[in-house]
Amino acid sequence: MELSGLGVWSSQLRYGDASEAADAAAELDELGFTALWIPDVGGPVLDAVGRLLTATKRTVIATGILNLWMHSPDDVAESYAALTAEHGDRFLLGIGVSHAPLIDAGNPGRYRKPLAATASFLDGLDAAAQPVPADRRVLAALGPKMLELSATRARGAHPYLVTPEHTASARATLGKGPLLLPEQTAILTDDADEARSIGTDWLRGYLAMPNYANNLRRSGFSDDDLSQVSDRLFDAIIVWGDEEAILRRVAEHQSAGADHVCVQVLEADPRSFPREQWRRLAAAS
């Protein structure tokens, strides 16, 4: 499984109406997107993977990411084996530790030693009756230690909420060989005020998560950038404009060392499937 080109990252494919998600996935497959990525913030994510695999013929279905605190390695390995037996080699298991405020909200103190927790989860996948191959899993990775684990215990890294500059740094840490599969958020509008209206509160939600905030500080953004959601920060994380502007940002990631970029399209209504925008990106790519 050598991912390249352009993919789609979508919460709607995961949490939207299941029938529309299947129909949209089938169209995205026909449009030529090489992977469809879905999040995991609760619920049976592997059931959703199965529905999307059933709806598609060629595209890779990837978890971006499977929250390791919410699953056991044995159950994940068993489901992975069943899904690949039924649908072939099209399931990429993205794994991550999520964020302390989310995990500790229901179980205070549970989120600790994220690097060790990730390594332990990978140990469990390796020891399962039907192990998940290391080259069929990637890790959510931002900092150097998790990136190094991505290179040694997985096929590579899936960074989220990052800039092309981070992609270049991540590639330097990973070295040649491991896959680097960043997410890029996009808003298809030429109106700066509309982009701000759609994206600011969405971005604030992520800036409240320490892992993302700390990574952006390492990337050179100040506390003022984060607290105010400065134009500099907004434009670095969210690309807005026409199709060509979005694809230029994708190309920047690729030039910096990304093998594959998954684009997350935001709309004013976060529940709606941005199908027209996906069609526009596919036609322009």
Other beta carbons less than 10 A from residue 64's beta carbon:
27
Q: What are the structure tokens assigned to 57, written together?
A: 């013929």
Rounded-to-integer distance, Cα 170 and Cα 178, Å: 11
Rounded-to-integer distance, Cα 46 and Cα 76, Å: 8
Question: Domains, the chain, ranges and CATH?
Answer: 5-284 (3.20.20.30)
Predicted confidence at residue 54, as pLDDT, reads 98
Other beta carbons less than 10 A from residue 4's beta carbon:
14
Say which residues have a Cβ less than 8 Å from residue 14's Cβ, sequence separation at least 6.
Answer: 21, 38, 39, 40, 45, 48
Rounded-to-integer distance, Cα 38 and Cα 50, Å: 12
pLDDT one digit per residue (tens) for the chain, 285 residues: 779 999 999 999 999 999 999 999 999 999 999 999 999 988 899 999 999 999 999 999 999 999 999 999 999 999 999 999 999 999 999 999 987 777 777 778 777 899 999 999 999 999 999 999 999 999 999 999 999 999 999 999 999 999 999 999 999 999 999 999 999 999 999 999 999 999 999 999 999 999 999 999 999 999 999 999 999 999 999 999 999 999 999 999 999 999 999 999 999 999 999 999 999 999 999
Q: Answer positive or negative: Cα dihedral of 94, 100, 101, 105.
A: positive
Predicted confidence at residue 89, as pLDDT, reads 97
Say which residues have a Cβ less than 8 Å from residue 61's Cβ, sequence separation at least 6.
Answer: 35, 36, 38, 49, 52, 53, 90, 91, 92
Range list of H helices, the chain: 12-15, 18-31, 45-55, 73-87, 100-106, 114-127, 144-153, 164-174, 192-207, 210-218, 223-228, 231-237, 243-255, 275-284
